[in-house]
Amino acid sequence: MTKSNLIKAQIPKDLFKYIAVSAGVLLILLYGILFLKISLKTVLILFGFILIGAISRLPQRMAPVSIGVELVSLVTIVSAVLHGPVVGALVGVSASALSGFYTIERPQDVIVMGLGFVGMGVLTPVLYNSFGLGICVLVLTVLYDIFTGVFYALTGHSWIGSIRFAVVHIPVNYFIIMWLGPKLLIL
């Protein structure tokens, strides 16, 4: 075995992927501190939100079918209410992208999901300030499920799977956010 083959054999294939994700998260944290003037405490809370959102998708991805139970929506909405649409979108995209690495999702699925969370982050402050948390959560979840469901179905997933996901996701997301959201909004 040559020296270069030995080095390649010792470096796990996923190492570069994890380094890229870590660098991306650090850049987001740096962006928050430098340009959004967010305190270190807040940055750490947002980093915790990203980790919570990413980890929450693990059971969903291990199930034989996508079950629609996750906390990415919760941390996206809370972050957007507390710190604005850019931060909400960054938290949602970061959590969903991070979870996409360990759940082995297709790149197009991660992109569609990320775009859905960008929309959620951007629309949250307007809907929250106009209608309150309950209507905000319902509208955002329905829009997210329609957007992602259509694109997933067009890229090879079944319509039945998208509908099944939405039927579970909408009420579960509503109850999770209505229960945990007010507790997190005081952070």
SS (H, E, C) 89-134: HHHHHHHHHHHHHHCCCCHHHHHHHHHHHHHHHHHHHHHHHHHCHH
pLDDT digits (tens, 9 = 90+) for 101-141: 776 677 788 889 999 999 999 999 999 999 999 999 999 99
Q: Does 102 or 94 have the greater pLDDT score? A: 94
Strongest mean pLDDT among 20-29, 65-74, 144-153: 144-153
The domains located in the chain, with CATH, are 14-61+69-184 (1.10.1760)
Cα separations in angstroms, 23 against 5, 7, 94, 112, 185: 26, 22, 11, 22, 28
| pLDDT average, residue stretch 73-94 | 94
Assign 172 to helix, strand or coil: helix
Per-residue model confidence (pLDDT) at position 7: 45
